[in-house]
Amino acid sequence: MSAPSTTSPVPPEFDQFAGDYDAALNRGLKFSGETKEYFAENRVKWFKQRLGDSLKLGSRCLDYGCGTGTATPYLMETLGLASLTGVDLSEESLVMARKDHGSPEVQFQPLDALDGLPDSFDVGYCNGVFHHIPPAERAGCAAAIFKSMKPGGIFALWENNAWNPIVRFMMSRVPFDADAIVLFPFETRKLMRDTGFEILGTDSLFVFPASLAFLRPLEPSLCKLPIGGQYQVLCRKPA
């Protein structure tokens, strides 16, 4: 997803990558030995584990910066959702998402559609979006998410780990990450806290590449160390 400024007249940079998104992303991911689907599936599994008993069947979910909809099937199936709304600034990405994942229960809308959906979502999800947002615009984007969540709603914000040099190298190989300004976990927590969210926890994931997959059962015990490829900040809108 490109920088979410709904007032910008410049076409989103991700439009030019929408049709070639997988190939562009895989230039970086190949060093992990995994596909984007592996990361999408395991992010959602981790999110569900952290939601625990607070996840209600039939929940409505927001996917902020949904891109081409990679996370959609995992969110719908793993979380047992009643509906999902994905929003993004890139119209070309939304076209592809609708084609591949659209249904009566799943809708993909322009980013500014979120303005008309206050207090609408029980759970929310966002992956790898905020490092594309200019720092001056991040607070406004976080506020839009906060407004869209129901009181008591839980939001998971995933970001690439700025502490990890391998992640920075991988991002340098991905064309649409050329302008990325990564966020350290403390910056992400502060952003969400300043917006009004309660911080429930921070977890680091994806420590071991495919070549060391036999060590992955250790990852849950390592999740509080800032060594993984990505981290999740889990937060809640006060009830």
**Per-residue pLDDT tens for 124-169?**
999 999 998 999 999 999 999 999 999 999 999 999 998 887 777 6
168 CB-near residues (< 8 Å, 6+ apart): 162, 182
State residue 65's pLDDT score.
95
52-69 mean pLDDT: 90
State residue 5's pLDDT score.
41
pLDDT surpassing 80 at residue 201: yes
**Domain locations in the chain as residue ranges:** 13-236
Q: Give the class (CATH, top level) of 13-236.
A: alpha beta
Of 48-57, 141-150, 188-197, the one with minimum mean pLDDT is: 48-57
State residue 231's pLDDT score.
96
Highest mean predicted confidence (pLDDT) among 130-139, 175-184, 190-199, 209-218: 190-199
Of 24-28, 188-192, 223-227, the one with minimum mean pLDDT is: 24-28
171-184 mean pLDDT: 75
Mean pLDDT of the chain: 86
State residue 56's pLDDT score.
81
